[in-house]
Amino acid sequence: MGLKNNLHNFKEKNKDKKWLPGFNALFTFLYMPNETTHNGTHIKAADDLKRTMNTVIMALVPCLIFGMFNAGYQHYLAQGLIDSADGFLGASFWTLDNLTVGLWKVLPLVIVSYGVGLAVEFIFAIIKGHEVEEGYLVTGMLVPLIVPVDIPLWMLAVAVIFGVVIGKEVFGGTGMNILNPALTIRAFLFFAYPTWMSGDKVWIHGAVERDQMIAAGQNIDAISGETILGSLAQGKEVAYSIWDMFYGIIPGSVGETSTLLILLGALFLIFAKIGSWRIMLSSVVGALVMGLIFNGFVDAGVITEGSKFYGLMSTEFWHHLLIGGFAFGTVFMATDPVTASQTNKGKWIYGFLVGFLSIMIRVFNPAYPEGVMLAILLMNVFAPTIDHYVVQGNVKKRMKRLKAKTA
Amino acid sequence: MSKDIKIKKGLDIKLIGEAEKTIENAIISNSYAIRPEDFHSIIPKLVAKEGTRVKAGETLFYNKDNENMKFVSPVSGEITEVLRGPRRRIDAIKITADKEQTYLDHGVFDLNSDAEKIKAHLLASGCWAFIKQRPYDVIAAADVTPKAIFISGYASAPLAADLDFTLAGKEAELQAAVTALSKLTTGSVHISVGDKSNSPLANLEHATTHKVSGPHPSGNVGTLINKVDPINKGETVWTVNAQDLVIIGELLLTGKFNAERIIALAGSSVQKPRYFKTLLGAEIATMVYDKGVERDSNARFISGNVLSGKQVQADEHLDYYSNVLTVIPEGDDYEFFGWNKPIFNKVSTSRALTFSWLNPKKKFDLNTNTNGEHRAFVTTGTYEEVFPLDIYPMQILKACMYKDLDEMEALGMYEVAPEDFALTEFVCVSKQPHQKIIREGLDLMLKEIG
């Protein structure tokens, strides 16, 4: 193996160079390193962080591909150029035209996200003299999937730099951060450039551009694509069926619309024992409970049709699982092991509260009708507190045992 | 009050190269070595200088903190070399063995003696080295009376020597040792045996026997302690390896410190894995080349099991406590796209394109590659699956790393030994050195709290 030996010799020759972590990151990407154990366990299990991260990326790939088709589909549908697809395998959905638009719009998001994010990671690794850590592999894939398709690339780049530096590196890098970096990036975009992150234009490629053309005096029809949450928050009729929502052929952020594919991803992650089923399950339960409570308010007549909360509160409780970013957030973001609760008992509590608060924020914050992001970020902050009390339970048990002995 | 112990959390790592149940006499080793580092935390005061002649069982050095605690030579012969490290630390004492062995006679011991006499006898004869204590997992302090003594008669570690086999026929010695030990504790001597085993330890008097079942670490003494009578702050328990009871027992019965031990030579690099009769401190090379490994082959010799043994070279020596010598291939090679391709030939607790779950009975040929680089702690919940103790493993490891003594104590540091964290280290995605972290944590506590 010539390449292997050449790379190995190159690494040995440049052992004391400052930029070596940068080279190593690429080298270990090609070849698993020749590192051996010393004392301690002489054998090690097959999994490393790269494999773990890679598994999550594999679970995300169907969402990414679907997102590309959906970008094109929504673009042409809004202009009335194609018929609406009938079901998941609808003829007007899986077309080359749709994919072309998707590739054209979504691939740059992926490239900017990875390019900028990894550049920051490399720079920090070299400055701090440690190896490039794999955390960004997943973050870099999540980011393009949770932004609107038309987001300007420079905004994305700025947000990624902010998210990686402030959200992660200042705490010490992968494994040390308090907030989920991908959500930090999205939150930054959300508060810094709200016009590009909400409303009825940004979810469909071309809609904003058209508005600008109309404003400039051209005589064309505006196109709009309200998300389902947006419609509900404003008390409008929802134009999509439950099955449309489940399949994901609806407007929304790039990769979060298809509950079906997210569900498949979730099953894969649970089967692979990479994603926490405790968090996913308890989050779903939390959301359903909150949904039921709101339905109860409506049924009891506390909230009537005139109320601005009526639209979302009267939404059947289980529909909440299908709309907005709830499914995506629950499966791929709330389960981030670094920022979630770390104890098994804590995961139940944390997940439940993520689901519960998601729906609560969703209903009570109709200006920005997406609660999952804020709920997860909030619970990220509280996760260590939850763990603290769970661990204290174990500590107390030990103290009690001691007391029983000495008494 | 016997108790059946059944654990579910754990992992049996099935490896190729289990020792076949035949015993051979190893080639008689010319050189022996005793390494003070085997006796963690003991500072040795050398008695036998280079050039002196010793009998088997004669003192080589004693504990600086307790000069009654002797450490003795496994053979008779001449001290040929005292290897020293930095700051004149003694690394090893090498002995060239006589052709004809002579033993120091300690005299037949009256098993009806009181505790003080038993203690003095064990300390003077070198057998105290086999008695360890928790907290801290060090050789027991002689002035403390333990609340109980724990002995594991069930070896669940990968490629471990089968204690039913190696201890067969040693009932008299085992009984003598257990009888003596039972007088040194206010509680009882707890012995674990496998639930389907035919252990010579199963029916001893003056002891409580527990049947254990389940995956490794069901045979770890730490698991036994945690399930039977966990250690509280201020308490001490002692642990003794089952194979060491034989040496203690023989000393009590005959007056002779007989360092003979049956050890398993195991591992996938060995042509014919089998058992050897040899002595503590024997040279590795006397066992590994005959129907074993090729000379100059790229293999790792481990005195002990693959999870917590010590790496040794062929010209080095068996350590004081091991009853298994494992030889596995070194893994110092790169693997193309090793991090993302499907893996069939390695053990994993996940199913992230790792397929060891498909065939739970399959035996694996694992090498010493770390299968990835060292990282910060990231994943959660993986340790808990293989860790049966009622302790939060990641939290206690982190407490050790940031050296918070109060937190270490609260989380159960008095109860653990490094080997309890061998499996969590094995499955660790971030390749953290758990056993080292725990050892350093225990050392810190020993120094600060004592």
Looking at residue A25, its amino acid is A
Q: Chain A partners of B380 at a C-beta cutoff of 8 Å?
A: 276, 337, 340, 342-343
Residues in a beta bridge with B95: B32, B79
What pLDDT shows up at residue A175? Answer: 86
Q: What are the two backbone dihedrals, phi and then psi, of residue A331, each rounded to the nearest 5 degrees? A: -80, -45
Instruction: Give Cα separations from B161 to A336, B137, B259 (angstroms).
Output: 41, 22, 17
CB contact (8 A) between residue B232 and residue A401 = yes
Last residue of a domain, one of B254, B285, B317: B254
Size of interface A-B (CB pairs under 8 A): 227
CB contact (8 A) between residue A49 and residue B435 = no
In a domain, B196, yes or no: yes
What pLDDT shows up at residue B1? Answer: 58
**C-beta separation of B270 from B292 below 8 A:** yes
- The H or E element spanning position B94 is strand B90-97
DSSP-derived 3-state class of residue A327: helix
CB contact (8 A) between residue A272 and residue B352 = yes
For residues B177 and B308, membership in a common domain is answered with no
Find the domain containing B316 and state its range: 259-329
Residues in a beta bridge with B265: B274, B325
**C-beta separation of A272 from B350 below 8 A:** yes
**pTM of the model as a whole:** 0.92
- pLDDT tens figures, A236-271: 777 788 888 899 888 888 988 899 999 999 999 999
**C-beta separation of B70 from B62 below 8 A:** yes
For residues B244 and B263, membership in a common domain is answered with no
In a domain, B35, yes or no: yes
Instruction: Give Cα separations from B329 to A143, B18, B300, B303, B370 (angstroms).
Output: 43, 15, 6, 15, 13
- pLDDT tens figures, A216-238: 777 777 777 778 887 787 777 77
Mark residue B143 as left, alpha or beta (left: phi above 0; alpha: psi -120 to 50; beta: remaining): alpha
For residues B125 and B219, membership in a common domain is answered with yes
**C-beta separation of B241 from B417 below 8 A:** no
Q: What is the side-by-side strand order in the sheet with B260-266?
A: B20-25, B274-279, B260-266, B324-329, B299-303, B310-312
Q: Chain B partners of A271 at a C-beta cutoff of 8 Å?
A: 351
Q: What are the two backbone dihedrals, phi and then psi, of residue A310, each rounded to the nearest 5 degrees? A: -60, -45
Token readout for A11 is 């690494």
Is the Cβ of B107 closer than 8 Å to some Cβ of chain A? no
CATH number at residue B275: 3.10.20.600
Judged by CB atoms within 8 Å, which residues 335-394 of B form the interface with A?
Answer: 335-340, 343, 346-354, 356, 366-382, 384, 390-392, 394
What ipTM was predicted for this assembly? 0.90
Per the structure, the count of domains in chain B is 4
Q: Which residue from B94, B14, B100 is spatially nearest to B55, judged by alpha carbons?
A: B100
For residues B244 and B145, membership in a common domain is answered with yes
Instruction: Give Cα separations from A33 to A8, A173, B368 (angstroms).
Output: 9, 21, 12
Q: What angle do CA A304, A307, A308 make, to 5 degrees?
A: 145
In a domain, B350, yes or no: no
**C-beta separation of B195 from B211 below 8 A:** yes
- The CA distance from A189 to A209, in Å, is 19
Judged by CB atoms within 8 Å, which residues 239-298 of B form the interface with A?
Answer: none
CATH number at residue B178: 3.40.50
Could you give the maximum distance between any two Cα atoms of chain A, in Å? 88
For residues B230 and B151, membership in a common domain is answered with yes
For residues B93 and B120, membership in a common domain is answered with no
Per residue of chain B (450 residues), give pLDDT as tens: 577 899 999 999 999 999 999 998 888 888 999 999 999 989 999 998 888 999 999 999 999 999 999 999 999 999 999 999 898 899 999 999 998 889 999 888 888 889 999 999 999 999 999 999 999 999 999 999 999 999 999 999 999 999 999 998 899 999 999 999 999 999 999 999 998 888 888 888 899 999 999 998 999 999 999 999 999 988 999 999 999 999 999 999 999 999 999 999 999 999 999 999 999 999 998 888 888 888 888 899 999 999 999 999 988 999 899 999 999 999 888 888 888 888 888 999 888 888 888 888 899 999 999 888 888 999 888 999 999 999 999 999 999 999 999 999 999 999 999 999 999 999 999 999 999 999 999 999 999 987
Nearest to A43 among B339, B350, B426 (CB): B426
Nearest to B376 among A174, A273, A401 (CB): A174
- The CA distance from A239 to B281, in Å, is 81
For residues B215 and B282, membership in a common domain is answered with no
Looking at residue B160, its amino acid is A
Q: Which residue from B366, B428, B349, B395 is spatially nearest to B9, judged by alpha carbons?
A: B349
For residues B55 and B90, membership in a common domain is answered with yes
Q: Please state the rounded mean pLDDT for residues A312-330.
A: 88
CATH number at residue B86: 2.40.50.100
CB contact (8 A) between residue B336 and residue A401 = no
CB contact (8 A) between residue A50 and residue B336 = no
Last residue of a domain, one of B76, B97, B118: B97
Interface residue of A37, A56, A180 to substitute, partner B, most B CBs within 10 Å: A37
Last residue of a domain, one of B97, B123, B148: B97
Q: What are the two backbone dihedrals, phi and then psi, of residue A112, each rounded to the nearest 5 degrees? A: -65, -45
Interface residue of B37, B312, B313, B339 to substitute, partner A, most A CBs within 10 Å: B339
For residues B286 and B215, membership in a common domain is answered with no
- The CA distance from A264 to A247, in Å, is 12
For residues B111 and B250, membership in a common domain is answered with yes
Residues near A104 by Cβ (< 8 Å), separated by ≥ 6?
none
For residues B127 and B234, membership in a common domain is answered with yes
